[in-house]
Amino acid sequence: MPQNTARMLQTHPNPASVFDQGALAECIDACFECANVCSSCADACLGEHGHLMHLVHCIRLNLDCADVCGTTGRVLSRLTQPDLNVMQAQLQACLTACRACGDECERHARDMNMEHCAVCAESCRRCEAACARLLEGMGA
Amino acid sequence: MPQNTARMLQTHPNPASVFDQGALAECIDACFECANVCSSCADACLGEHGHLMHLVHCIRLNLDCADVCGTTGRVLSRLTQPDLNVMQAQLQACLTACRACGDECERHARDMNMEHCAVCAESCRRCEAACARLLEGMGA
Amino acid sequence: MPQNTARMLQTHPNPASVFDQGALAECIDACFECANVCSSCADACLGEHGHLMHLVHCIRLNLDCADVCGTTGRVLSRLTQPDLNVMQAQLQACLTACRACGDECERHARDMNMEHCAVCAESCRRCEAACARLLEGMGA
Amino acid sequence: MPQNTARMLQTHPNPASVFDQGALAECIDACFECANVCSSCADACLGEHGHLMHLVHCIRLNLDCADVCGTTGRVLSRLTQPDLNVMQAQLQACLTACRACGDECERHARDMNMEHCAVCAESCRRCEAACARLLEGMGA
């Protein structure tokens, strides 16, 4: 996790109590990284002139996943008076978006040797797993 | 629905087929309106000097709801090769965020006579209902 | 302007004083509409299978313009203790993004008869003009 | 810069040519970090019960800066067929938002010993400087 992002959690006046601190920090970090990587992957796919026709579904899922992960990261990093139902539902949406985008990117990494899709699939898998861990900790 | 937003759905090369067109347009409109109204309500609450201490939870839920609704509106208005699991999970998160924020704003509208919270509660209820209708149509 | 978005400005505890109220409301409305229409236009272009190769620059500008307009709409609709330098610089960025995207969409509307680009160009022009009016009112 | 975010720039089919690669990567990283830290700082300020009244302007600038930096990070990390006027204007807006928010946070770090504001001021200064370097490289 980038140093200052981690320090923000530590200097917050109301440190979170519902979640395991380490699992929460890891999930926030995974969400923001995945948001940025998915936004980049949509753009990299858009630049693949020879393969563009085959990357339409991938670009669409990248854009969805970028928005969903960014929103999830923001919701999770707000520690003041959280609503657990909102967090749980948004984590579930994030896990679902990361799975769909990770599956699609993995396919292009394997079948078309797309390196940016390989990196993106890795970020999606990491974020999917981090969401699953937080959801498990909530008893969901 | 603002005229040009509606026209974008009509001029799309692949008009949606899974959803009832009217229910989809209504939900996209409700999501974007709720996103903007919640962002304004967070700011209006922040300007309520005498009552600020009592509005902390409201501001927090407004910020969450603004982000969640904005992301849901974007995901729903992408008609090209959608992933229904992602849409369904994000709709569920949106319904949950709108319910939490609508409940909180309703309380402040009633107990503290906050007019901006009354307007915001109305937008949250409308968006919650629109999400519920789309989810129902998906058999969720 | 959608009814509840307009009512939020009216029920705010600190109504804006720097800007002409009508011009501000019109610009906020134009920013949010343009954000949503540009996000839709990126998706519609992505669905234009036969023309996709010629729409890469358009999709890219649509995505930029959607993000820039959405951020500008949020900054402008925060009335509590605003910073005029931030507003002015963000308005200038928004005007620039709308001009670039409007020019590109106009070209595709004319040369390829793309209806969604015609609608999008209209929203971009309206937002560009609304930003110019606010900037003029600031003496910028 | 988080490893996968850096790898996305390296695996892009059209690596940027206008900007110095190192300066660009640093600026994208600074924008996304500042966006996340500012969103956290708004929330941490909101949790400072005893000082809340004095943090209203800070929260407002944090929210603006979070949105502006997030949008700037996305625009900069799109390498496919960029529009330099849009990048330059958005960089200028980002520099302005970071300066305003950094000044305000610095004051609270010094006068009220707010640690989260000290961290946030650091991220704002780093992002302001990174934007200035890119703008300089563009001859702006």
- Are D78 and C60 in contact by the 8 Å Cβ rule? The answer is yes
C3 to chain B: closest CA residue: B33
Does the beta-carbon distance from D46 to B53 stay under 8 Å?
A: no
Does the beta-carbon distance from A43 to D115 stay under 8 Å?
A: no
CA atoms of D11 and D30, how far apart (whole Å): 20
Average pLDDT over residues C54-75: 98
Using the Cα atoms of residue A49, residue A54, residue A55 and residue A60 in order, give the sign of their dihedral.
positive
> A interface mutation test: which of C39, C41, C46 has the most A CBs within 10 A?
C46
CA atoms of D140 and D122, how far apart (whole Å): 24
ipTM of the complex: 0.96
Task: Specify the pLDDT at position C53.
Answer: 93
Those residues of chain B that have pLDDT short of 70 are 16-17, 140
Task: Specify the pLDDT at position D17.
Answer: 67
Residue B48: phi and psi, rounded to 5, are -90, 75
- D interface toward A at CB cutoff 8 Å? 2, 4-5, 7-9, 11-14, 28-29, 32-33, 36-37, 39-41, 43-44, 46-49, 70, 73-74, 77-81, 115-116, 118-120, 122-123
Statement: residue C119 has pLDDT above 80 = yes
A39 to chain C: closest CA residue: C63
- Residue A134 is given by DSSP the state H
CA atoms of C58 and C45, how far apart (whole Å): 8
- Are D79 and D16 in contact by the 8 Å Cβ rule? The answer is yes
Q: Where does the pLDDT of residue D16 fall: very low under 50, low under 70, confident under 90, or very high at 90 and above?
A: low
Statement: residue D140 has pLDDT above 80 = no
- Chain A nearest CA to C118, separation (Å): 22
Does the beta-carbon distance from A60 to C43 stay under 8 Å?
A: yes
CA atoms of C1 and C16, how far apart (whole Å): 17
Average pLDDT over residues C28-42: 97
Does the beta-carbon distance from C80 to B46 stay under 8 Å?
A: yes
Q: Where does the pLDDT of residue C16 fall: very low under 50, low under 70, confident under 90, or very high at 90 and above?
A: low
Residue-averaged pLDDT of chain B: 95
Q: Cα-Cα-Cα-Cα dihedral of B86, C121, D12, D127, to 10°?
A: -90
B49 to chain C: closest CA residue: C13
Smallest Cβ–Cβ distance between A116 and the set D11, D70, D122 belongs to: D11
Statement: residue C17 has pLDDT above 70 = no
Looking at the whole model, is its pTM more than 0.95?
yes
Q: Where does the pLDDT of residue C62 fall: very low under 50, low under 70, confident under 90, or very high at 90 and above?
A: very high
